[in-house]
C-alpha cells in the first residue's frame, strides 16, 4: 500500500472530505441562494397575509404582515448577496422560530390540515439548520462580506 493512503471506509471518507473542502465556497454560495429563495419566494407571494395573521390572533395583522414581508426581503437579499450573512442568519433564526411557534402548531389544526402544517413545521426545522450553518461559517469567499474583510 502506498504511503499516506488508507484502505476501506476511512480512505473513502478522506477523499470525500478533500472534495468537500475544495468546493466549500461555491457550495456556500449555492446554499445561501437556496435558503434565500425560500424567503424571497414567500415575500413575492405576499405571505403571511393579514387575513392569515388575523386568524392566528395577531394584533395589528396588516402591520405585522407588512413587517414580516419586509423582513423576508431583507433576509433573502442579504443572504443572496452575502452581505452581513451572520446577522441575516440570526434575523432568519428569530423569524423562523416565531413563524413556527405561532403559525405551524400542527396539532391545533383540524385533522385535514395537520399534515400540511406538520410539513411546514419540519421544513422550518431544516431552514433553521441551514441558517445555523451559515451563522457559523459565514458567507464564504463569494460574498460581499468576504470582499469587505479583504479591504480592511
The reply to whether 14 falls in a domain is no
The pLDDT confidence band at residue 4, using thresholds 50, 70 and 90, is low
The reply to whether 6 falls in a domain is no
pLDDT in tens, 6-61: 556 677 778 888 888 999 999 999 999 999 999 999 999 988 999 999 999 999 99
Give the cell for residue 151: 479591504
Q: Considering its fold, how many domains does the chain have in total?
A: 1
93: domain range? Answer: 25-151
The reply to whether 64 falls in a domain is yes
The reply to whether 104 falls in a domain is yes
pTM of the model: 0.86
The reply to whether 16 falls in a domain is no
Amino acid at each position: 500500500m502506498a504511503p499516506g493512503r488508507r484502505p476501506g471506509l476511512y480512505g473513502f471518507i478522506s477523499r470525500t472530505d478533500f472534495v468537500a473542502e475544495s468546493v466549500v465556497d461555491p457550495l456556500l454560495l449555492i446554499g445561501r441562494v437556496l435558503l434565500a429563495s425560500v424567503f424571497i419566494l414567500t415575500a413575492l407571494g405576499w405571505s403571511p397575509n393579514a387575513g392569515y395573521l388575523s386568524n392566528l390572533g395577531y394584533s395589528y395583522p396588516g402591520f405585522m404582515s407588512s413587517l414580516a414581508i419586509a423582513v423576508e426581503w431583507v433576509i433573502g437579499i442579504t443572504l443572496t448577496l452575502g452581505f452581513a450573512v451572520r446577522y441575516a442568519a440570526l434575523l432568519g433564526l428569530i423569524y423562523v422560530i416565531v413563524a413556527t411557534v405561532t403559525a405551524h402548531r400542527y396539532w391545533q389544526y383540524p385533522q385535514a390540515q395537520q399534515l400540511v402544517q406538520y410539513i411546514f413545521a419540519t421544513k422550518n426545522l431544516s431552514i433553521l439548520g441551514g441558517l445555523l450553518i451559515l451563522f457559523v461559517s459565514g458567507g464564504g469567499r463569494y460574498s460581499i462580506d468576504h470582499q469587505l474583510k479583504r479591504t480592511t
